[in-house]
Amino acid sequence: MAWAAQPFLPQGEEAPALPELAPMARRRANTLGRTALQVAYWAQGEQSGVPVVLASRHGDLERSLALLADLAAQEPMSPTGFGLSVHNAIGAMYSIARGDRSNYLAVAAGADTVALGVVEAVGLLADGAPEVLLLCYDTPLPGHYSVFRDEPAATYAWAWRMARAEAGAPRLRLCPGVAASVPPAPALLPYGLDVLRFALSGDTQFARPLADSGWEWQRHV
């Protein structure tokens, strides 16, 4: 709540302890994986049987870039490295570690990733799920990919337990907006963290035009 009142871009890439995960599995998770898994455990606890939507714009590109470097050098590629580089790898680790065979979905939709992760979660609620865990995470683009960065970069993760709107309870609403007609002004936070800031702030409305799309977030009480 204090961060939402005076937001700042997180610095550093210190990996959380993640004591919930067995040591052998924990060693396979890098900083991004451990960061995402830690907030998932904090949010969900011992609860199981809930669909999980994993929303990450870039995923684990550090592993992918390392695999491409091996390929370019005509070196053998690690099957384990490949298995951990795919976009749903963090969800798979979480599912296996918990023995949970619920519906797990990975969403990557460019700058719209967080918004479309919410749309996917709402679709699951409309399809009958009583609750959905939305896990949003990202990390700065590594190496040569950094030239494609178009927003502030940070390693972060957050999770929401989402349910259907109930009478008398606070509700969030997401609507398609208008894309920016000119390049958006520089932002302090990546879009994923800006959405979290809005949710924590108590503001009634938030809109940040993106290059090719736009979304309007509203809070109803």
- What would you measure as the largest C-alpha separation in the chain, in angstroms? 61
Question: Would you call 129 helix, strand, or coil by DSSP?
Answer: coil
Q: Which tokens sit at 14?
A: 């210190």
Does pTM surpass 0.85?
yes
**Strand pairing of 132-138 and 52-55?**
parallel
CATH fold of 14-167, please? Peroxisomal Thiolase; Chain A, domain 1 (3.40.47)
**Strand pairing of 171-176 and 132-138?**
unpaired
Rounded to an integer, what distance in angstroms lies between the CA atom of residue 11 and that of residue 153? Answer: 9
Q: Give Cβ neighbours of residue 79 (< 8 Å, ≥ 6 apart).
A: none
At 20 the pLDDT is: 94
The pLDDT tens digits along the chain (221 residues) read: 999 999 999 988 788 999 999 998 898 899 999 999 999 999 998 888 999 999 999 988 888 888 888 889 988 888 888 888 888 999 999 999 999 999 999 999 998 999 999 999 999 999 999 999 999 999 999 888 889 998 999 999 999 999 998 888 778 899 987 666 656 667 899 999 999 999 999 899 998 877 667 889 999 86
At 82 the pLDDT is: 81
At 80 the pLDDT is: 82
Of 39, 30, 31, which is closest to residue 12 (Cα–Cα)? 31
If phi over 0 gives left and psi between -120 and 50 gives alpha, with beta otherwise, what is residue 53? beta
Residue length of the chain: 221
Distance of CA 18 to the CA centre of its chain: 17
